[in-house]
Structure 1
Amino acid sequence: MEYYQQQGWTDGLPVMPVTETYLAEFLAATDRRPGEVLFSVAHLNRELTVKLAAVNAALAGCRPDYFPVVVAAWEAISQEPHPPRGIWQSTTGTAPFTVVNGPIRQRIELNSKGSIFGSGFRANATIGRAIRLALINVFGLRPHQLDQATQATPAKYTACIGENEEESPWAPLHTEYGFAAGDDVVTAFVVRSVMHIEARHTQIPEQLAFDFADTIRRTGALIHEYSNALLVLSPEHAQVFAGAGWTKDDLRSAIYHNAVRTRVDLAAVGKDALSRHTRWRLPGDHPDAMPDSASTSPCPERVRIMSGPGSVQIMVAGANNAGVSAVVEIFGLAPRDRPSSYSKITTP
């Protein structure tokens, strides 16, 4: 382990030694060829093969039966649309964020209930870590080198959760992409932060939806013209909406219509216009400034923060013990009604 540390093959924490015999157990857990490329970054001229993914999964402490999830996660990540995949080197400090659906959650004991963003579960911790270690060891994304994060996020170590399908009043996330409820599926996001919402005070869905919208519409998160969010509801909050007859689409619509800032709000923080070149937000008096899309709307003084209701993804996870949910800030291209980054988990 000390040798691995000296070679820079870790994320700062000790890793598992990997032998050829142990590696063979991982490769036997998938029907993919060891030399098959799962992910590539052209501007770095580097590729991740199935074998390299297996090496890093073993280093991370995965069990071999976790490896099909890791492979599916890389397949989902490969669909990320951000050109030229430089998002992983962003100064914003983005990280991979993986959501797992389907019966495989029980088979590998992947946590979807209490403490989903915390520690204590090997599958969650090591599957997410396998992605990070490959970004370090295969693509060279080390801090102070190719990883240019200014402050980063704890999700850079690991970020993998399951959906609490059993306590959700709605169909699970992956069925919205056309999969059957019994399919095992990984959805990959690019995450910036996770913000928790304490809302134990109300059983009125409109009030709760506005609380979520107010979190999403904060100006500090508004980098581009529009924002995207993954809403991770606790079962208790999901039941508030479902008990009032709300569907996921009703909640999406409510958040979209309430995620609004005034032009005055945006001018106060210097985000009332867009860059002609990058379309990032900047002050209206900047030489590179151009009007945003809202400026030509019937009410230009009210600026929508999201391109449409589909900019909000919704899932249920966590314990059914308190009114605590989370908004996961995710990157996405606008308009973009659904994330395209998902993959079915397959085993031999």
Structure 2
Amino acid sequence: MSGGSLVDAIEHCFEVGWSDGLPVVPPYRVLVDRMLDALHWDGEEVLTSIAGQDTEVCAEQVAAMAVMAGCRPEYGRVLRPLTEAVFDERLNLAGVEVTTGGVAVLVVVSGPVVTEVGFAYGGNSVGGANSRPNATVGRFAQMLRYFCGSQGGAMRANGTMGHPGRISFLIAERPDTHFPPFHAQSGLPAEVSAVSVCSAEGPNSVNNHYSFEAEGILDTIADCLAHAGSTSYYWHHGLYLVVLGPDHAETVSRRFSRDQVREYLFEHARRPTDELARLGRIPENPRAESKVVRGAMRSPVDNPGLLYVVEGGAAGGRFSAVVPGWVGSHEFISRRIADT
């Protein structure tokens, strides 16, 4: 893209659908080339094809997306593995685009890269944190959806209620976490940096100011996990992310390891199936393949491995959060970030 005034170029991007609804940085050739250098990709290199669609994505297009999202070239070491993770078929990007649920691509950044690049991990970090790396890298991940299910050059959302995270949804793990790094749950070495993605609904705040024992805090979180409106109750194979605030994490970590936290939540986040049927969350006469057993206690997940834990947010407030995954997302997809 070249020529014309900056304002004209921004308006042109709106007109042709190169936007998520907010103004973008026009993808001038010099900016795209600079981003390609940072990504260490040749512009014509084909990165992926979208399953079920006659669509190939080349590196030049991805670099243009990074420019439009407002990313700096210094973020390239994060953007490359992030692109690979988003296009991993296990994320089911096509499903994310057609579902009527409110779903966005959730990004978790962990390891030394958090401080090296300058991601915000304290106050408001689940909500954007007024941080350029958080906002633009998270926005880039959402804009990659442009290649999937676009109609007439514009992204089309199908969510009945939608999700504000479809603009940007990124959480950076606290470097001083009381637990092993987040990506260790996906089998990566603890000492590396990583970016992890899944498709997820919006965060639910968990407020517990008066329990100073691990069990009390985890019981409150379990109650949030098991609320009647949970998407996962019928098939119970979606994942959940528990974002432990540092005050809660300090208390919980004195009593439990992270794996023990996951086991505890799995055992305690349950509701009676008869109650779920009365509330309309499962059918009165469920199909055999649904695994629903009437009269039993039911968890929204079928094993503790679907419960992920990360430490984030600010100290000084006894809050945590629960982020329900979409039922089509069964794991976090993690990629190692190269060292500088």
After TM superposition, the score normalised by the length of structure 2 is 0.88
- Residue 341 of structure 1 corresponds to which residue in structure 2? 333
Counterpart contact for 2:231–2:327, Cα < 8 Å = no
Residues 66, 138 of structure 1: CA spacing in aligned structure 2 closer, same or farther, 3 A cutoff? farther
Letter matched to residue 334 of structure 2: Y
Whether the 8 Å CA contact 1:95–1:192 is kept in 2: the answer is yes
Residue correspondence of structure 1 range 98-117 to structure 2 within 5 A: 98-117=107-126
Aligned residue type for 1:303: R
Q: 1:121 and 1:149 mapped to 2: Cα distance?
A: 27
Q: Provide, for residues 317-339 of structure 1, a one-character-per-residue CA deviation record: whole Å limited to 9, x for no partner.
A: 111111111001113569x6xx2
Q: Which residue of 2 aligns with 1:161?
A: 171
> Shift of the alpha carbon at 1:122?
0.3
How far is the alpha carbon of 1:304 from its aligned partner?
2.6
- 1:80/1:341 contact within 8 Å kept: no
SS at match of 1:81: helix
Distance verdict in 2 for CA 1:142–1:72, change over 3 Å: farther
Verify the 8 A CA contact 1:9 1:137 in the aligned structure 2.
no
CA distance in structure 2 between the partners assigned to 1:241 and 1:209 by the alignment: 8
Specify the code of the residue in structure 2 equivalent to 1:207. Answer: G
1:270-289 mapped onto 2 (5 Å cutoff): 270-272=280-282, 283-285=283-285, 289=287
- How far is 1:264 from its partner? 1.7
Question: In the aligned structure 2, how far is the partner of 1:143 from the partner of 1:302?
Answer: 47
* Aligned partners of 1:271 and 1:284 also within 8 Å: no
Match of residue 313 from structure 1: 308
Report the Cα offset of residue 146 of structure 1. Answer: 4.2
Q: CA deviation at 1:269?
A: 2.1
Alignment correspondent of 1:228? 239
Task: Report the aligned-residue RMSD.
Answer: 2.4
Structure 1 stretches of 4+ with a deviation exceeding 4 A read 141-146
Runs (5+) with no aligned partner, structure 2: 1-9
1:330 lines up with 2:330 in the alignment: no
Letter in 2 for 1:20: R
Given that 1:136 and 1:142 are in contact with CA atoms closer than 8 Å, whether structure 2 keeps it comes out as no
Contact 2:273 2:295 in 1 (8 A): yes
Q: Structure 1 residues 240 and 38, CA, compared in 2 at 3 Å: closer, same or farther?
A: farther
Q: State how many pairs are aligned.
A: 328
Q: Percent identity?
A: 25
| Cα deviations by residue, 1:37-60 (Å, 9 ceiling, x for unpaired) | 334322232232222111011001
Question: 1:239 corresponds to which residue?
Answer: 250
1:290 aligned to which of 264, 270, 288: 288
Deviation readout 1:49-90 (Å, 9 max, x if unpaired): 222111011001100111221221121123352658322221
Structure 2 CA distance for aligned equivalents of residues 58 and 218 of structure 1: 40
Task: Give the secondary-structure state (helix, strand or coil) at the position aligned to 2:85.
Answer: helix
The AA in structure 1 aligned to 2:43 is: P
Tell me which residue corresponds to 2:297. 302
Aligned-partner residue type, residue 293 of structure 1: K
Shift of the 150–130 alpha-carbon distance from structure 1 to 2, 3 Å rule, reads same
- Shift of the 266–138 alpha-carbon distance from structure 1 to 2, 3 Å rule, reads closer
Q: Which residue of structure 2 aligns with residue 268 of structure 1? A: 278
The structural deviation recorded for 1:177 is 2.8
Matched residue, 2:33: 24
1:76 aligns to 2:85 (yes or no): yes
Relative distance call for 1:332 and 1:91 in structure 2 (3 A) is closer
When residues 147 and 73 of structure 1 are mapped into structure 2, their CA distance, relative to the original with a 3 A threshold, is: same
Partners of 1:261 and 1:71 in 2: CA distance: 42
Give the conservation status (yes or no) of the 8 Å contact 2:17–2:154.
Answer: no
Q: Is the 8 A contact 1:48 1:138 kept in 2?
A: no
Code of the residue aligned with 2:159 in structure 1: it is A
SS at match of 2:122: coil
SS at match of 1:29: helix
Q: So what's the TM-score if we normalise by structure 1?
A: 0.86
Cα distance 1:127–1:141, how it changes in 2: closer, same or farther (>3 A)? Answer: farther
Q: What is the letter of the counterpart of residue 157 of structure 1?
A: I
Aligned to 1:178: 187
Distance 1:307 1:114 in 2: 33
Question: Counterpart amino acid of 2:86?
Answer: I
Q: Structure 1 residues 15, 112: closer, same or farther in 2, change over 3 A?
A: same
**Structure 2 counterpart of 1:261, one-letter code:** R
1:31 to partner: Cα distance: 2.5
Cα gap change, 1:42/1:305 in structure 2, threshold over 3 Å: closer, same or farther? Answer: closer
| Segment drifting more, 217-226 vs 199-208 | 217-226
Change (3 A) 1:194 1:35: same
Q: Residues 204 and 142 of structure 1: is their aligned pair in 2 closer, same or farther, counting only changes over 3 Å?
A: farther
Where structure 1 has 5 or more consecutive residues not aligned to the other structure, the ranges are 273-282
Label 1:344 to 1:211 Cα distance change in 2 as closer, same or farther (>3 A).
same
Q: How does 1:83-162 map to 2 (within 5 A)?
A: 85-119=94-128, 120-136=130-146, 139-140=149-150, 146-162=156-172
State how far apart, in whole Å, the 2-side matches of 1:80 and 1:201 are.
43
1:203 offset after TM fit, Å? 0.6
Instruction: Determine the C-alpha separation between the residues in 1 that align with 2:93 and 2:106.
Output: 19
